[in-house]
Amino acid sequence: MLTGAAGQLGWELQARLSGLGHLTSFHRAELNIGDADAIRLVVRRLRPDLIVNAAGYTAVDQAETEPEMAMRVNGAGPGVLAEEAKRVGAALISYSSDYVFDGNSTQPYTEEDRPNPLSAYGRSKLAGDQSIASVDGSYLIFRTSWVYTERNRNFVLAVLKLAKERAELRIVNDQVGAPTPGSLIADYTSKIIAGAREQGSNCSVAEVLRERRGLYNLVCGGQVSRYEFAKEVLRLFLPQNPARVVPVPSSEFTKSARRPSFSVLSTQKLEHTFGLKPPPWQVTLERFAAGMRNHVAPVKEIPGPGA
C-alpha cells in the first residue's frame, strides 16, 4: 500500500514498487493522511503486508500559518499508519526530513543526534518520527534532504525555470546540504524491500524488517551550498545559458519558515545495516541531467500540502 502516489517521491516509488508484488496506490484525493478514520478504514480493508508512506504536507512556509494541518498530516497521520500496520501485521516505511535539525552542527548529523527543528514543518516531521517509533511496531524511517525529481516543485526545477526568465539568479550561499534525487530514495527503498522478501521466505516482510527497524539517513554523499548547487545545475542543463549566479545570504530573502544552515546527514548506519552506500550528489545530478536529456518528460506541478 502506497500513500502520496502523486507527489515527487510517491511518483518515483510507484514505478519501482509495482514490480515487487500487488500494489495499491493512493493519491491525496483518495486518502487524506490527515484523516485518521480514513486511514483505519483503508488499512483494515486492504490488510497489506507493507505500507509505504510517501504522503506529507510539504509547503514549508505555509506551515507557519497552518501548523495544525501540518501536524495532522506529518505528525499524527504517520502514527495512525503505524498503529494500523501493527494491527494487521504489516511493516511501515515512512520518510522524514533534514528540517528536524537546527543546522548548528559542523559535522554530518547522525540518527542519534538530538533534533531541534526551527519551523512548524520541521516540528511536524519530527512528531511523525516520534509517533511511529512510539507504536513499537515494524518500521523504517528514512530521513532525507533537498529532494528533487522531474516533477512537482523542487530546487532544481525552480533554478531551470528562473534561468530562462532572468539574466541573474540570486542564490543563498549559507545553506549547506546534500541534494538527493527521489529516484535514489525510491531505488534504495525497493532494494531493501526486495531483500526483506528474499530473506523472509519462511516469515513475513514485517518480521524481517522488525529486526532492523529504526531511523536511517538516506541522502547522497558529500555536501554543497545552494549557490554552488545552482551553478552545477546550470552547467549541466543549460551550458549556453547566460544567466549569472550571484551568492547572497539567506537574510536577503523574506521567508516565513527558518531553514537549517547546515543539514548534512551521515549515512554510515544505512551503509552498515543494508550495505547501501549512496553515491556523491555530483554523480546522481549528472545521471539525472542525462536522463532528462534522453527523454523530455513533462514537468507537472502539484500543490505542496498533502502531495
pTM comes to: 0.92
pLDDT digits (tens, 9 = 90+) for 62-117: 999 999 999 999 999 999 999 999 999 999 999 999 999 999 999 999 999 999 99
Kindly state whether residue 6 falls inside one of the protein's structural domains: yes
Torsion of CA 226, 190, 111, 280, to 10 degrees: -40
Look at residue 306 and tell me if it is in a domain: no
Residues with active-site annotation: 121
Left (φ > 0), alpha (ψ -120 to 50) or beta: where does 89 sit? left
Top-confidence residue, 131 or 251: 131
Query: Per residue in 18-55, pLDDT tens?
Result: 989 899 999 989 999 999 999 999 999 999 999 999 99
Residue 303, domain member (yes or no): no
Whether the CB-CB separation of 93 and 52 falls below 8 Å is answered with yes
Residue 302 lies in a domain: no
Task: Please give the residue range of the domain that contains residue 18.
Answer: 2-294
* CATH label of the domain that carries residue 11: 3.40.50.720
In a domain, 128, yes or no: yes
Cell of 259: 531553514
- pLDDT value, residue 23: 95
Strands 138-144 and 91-97: parallel
**Closest of 218, 282, 260 to residue 101, by C-alpha:** 260
**166 in a structural domain:** yes
Distance in angstroms (rounded) separating the CA atoms of residues 152 and 306: 12
What is the total count of domains within the chain? 1
